[in-house]
Amino acid sequence: METKGYTQDGTVDLRGRPVLASKTGKWKACAFLVGYEAFERMAFYGVASNLVNYLTTQLHEDTVSSVRNVNNWSGSVWITPIIGAYIADTYLGRFWTFTVSSLIYVVGMILLTTTVSMKSLRPTCTDGICNKASTLQIVFFYTSLYTIAIGAGGTKPNISTFGADQFDDFNPQEKELKVSFFNWWMFSSFLGALVATLALVYIQENLGWGLGYGIPTVGLLFSLFVFYLGTPIYRHKVKKTKSPARDLIQVPITAFRNRKLQLPNHPCQLHEHEPQQYINSGKRQVHYTPIFRFLDKAAVKDGNSSKPPCTVTQVEGTKLVLGMLLIWLVTLIPSTIWAQINTLFVKQGTTMDRSLGSSFQIPAASLGSFVTSSMLLSVPMYDRYFVPFMRQKTGNPRGITLLQRLGIGFVIQIAAIAIAYAIEVRRMHVIRVHHIMGPKETVPMSIFCLLPQYVLLGIADVFNAIGLLEFFYDQSPEDMQSLGTTFFTSGIGVGNFLNSFLVTVVDKITGGGNGKSWIGDNLNDSHLDYYYGFLLVISTLNLGAFLWASSKYVYKRETIEFNEGCIELESKALEISPLGLQV
């Protein structure tokens, strides 16, 4: 295969034929993909960044309801990829799942643009008194939103993994290029988000919501056209297992059935295929690890059973998923912090002085552009300077390990929420000094005071958002990389649902009876500082849980064997770093 110039990882073209390494894949293929990602993120953030304002000013929902509805929709956008990834890994493959889902996504954007453009689909106002949205108006609006969520379910987990598939892990030069892939992939994502938060938010509030949603809809259609132009040079992974997720069920069941059997003294006595079988299939053999040892019984050889035991590779695949689940759990609180950008941070900004000059008012949601701006500046610095510098110090191709990258991001995020708390304490002090009570009174405090929390969250995301995407792709079993990537998306989704739950519970508890709600409709007469303080405490506790989970995690170690020899990946997986995080 290698002598003929074909890819070594067995990738094929759309018709199932082996592809030439020199004419397919790599960055020349990814160039067609990143355009879609930029326009899709522009569409998503064009909706998400200002949705809380649309719900309160156009559909006339109260603050808690609008925050809850934004979080529920955002959560759905990030949760549905679990279904899309399963369909891709089990049935259609990444390319065709993406194709169908992207059309659904576009239909949702067209419906949403129609909804916000037609007067009959919006509640009316007479002499300053606004009617509540009718049932039909609400149904049509939320049907449009959740159609987008369904479409995102098939596009989000498959487009990034499809991009990573364009690099051959068994070609040293391509593997080195792949180290930077997720950094620059997210760079294109941030670029789309920047356009949304700077331009689209302003257009929505000043030129019309229909135009503000129509522009990204057209952009999305254009990006799909560009995506399909690259079809001849795309590489496609061959599905090597009929049902990749089957091992997740089979291994625990077999381990339970063999629970009374004695484990052998050495792991080499557990059941495993001969190396030749892996050579013939092109699959990767996963090395034994000493964690979750109760699952090892699934690979115990039992001469009295008619059912064959699982292989060590199957068992290790299940262990990988359990290990990732442990890390996933400690990413939920950071995702909850991220959810504040498009909800409470925006509402907080609407109360402050947003004037720039004598006539221009800054849309509160536009401050989200500073998150993306700091990301766009930080990604090249991270990739071009930080990684090479740390690579010399540690010898790690990534500079630092994936979990160390996440840990740094979580620490920066805690600093951001601490600053948000301090700024809100200051805002409440100014309110008391100036005796401000009305919900529409402007607090004499510049909205730019919020910049530090936005900028820090942007820098934090260069570490934890990109790091999480790469971690879950890299550590997933070979046949479940689309499904594995949904650990990243579902974590964000559950974080949004968690924030929705917390906001609702906190409002009911603190606003019950004659109490003053921490998150009332009138933020000038609430205690948002208390809620930020609560988030700061649980974020700090969660960091401790992350450090513990990281100390227990063991990285994946794989080999793939060819007739010419053996290549081992992640060979330094079991060393322990000074930070307590696995190398």
Q: What is the rounded distance in angstroms from the CA atom of residue 464 to the CA atom of residue 462?
A: 6
Taking only the tens place, the pLDDT of each residue in 346-405 is: 888 888 888 887 777 888 878 888 888 888 888 889 988 998 899 998 888 888 999 999
The domain 320-564 having CATH identifier 2.130.10.10: the answer here is no
Question: What does the pLDDT average to over 186-191?
Answer: 84
More confident residue, 169 or 154: 154
pLDDT at residue 580 greater than cutoff 70: no
Percent helix, strand and coil across the chain, each rounded to 5?
A: 65, 5, 25
CA angle 342, 343, 349 (to 5 degrees): 90
Q: Which two tokens stand for residue 91?
A: 């049935």
Query: CATH 1.20.1250.20 spans which residues of the chain?
Result: 7-241, 320-564
The CATH class, in words, for 7-241 is mainly alpha
pLDDT at residue 3 greater than cutoff 70: no
pLDDT at residue 179 greater than cutoff 70: yes
Three-class SS of residue 583?
Answer: coil
3-state secondary structure 287-302: CCCCCCHHHHHHHCCC
Q: How confident is the model at residue 279 (pLDDT cuts 50, 70, 90)?
A: low
More confident residue, 57 or 251: 251
Taking only the tens place, the pLDDT of each residue in 509-535 is: 887 766 778 887 788 888 889 999 999
Question: What does the pLDDT average to over 567-574?
Answer: 40
The reported pTM is 0.74
Q: Are 315 and 295 in contact (CB under 8 A)?
A: yes
CA angle 329, 333, 336 (to 5 degrees): 125
DSSP 408-420: HHHHHHHHHHHHH
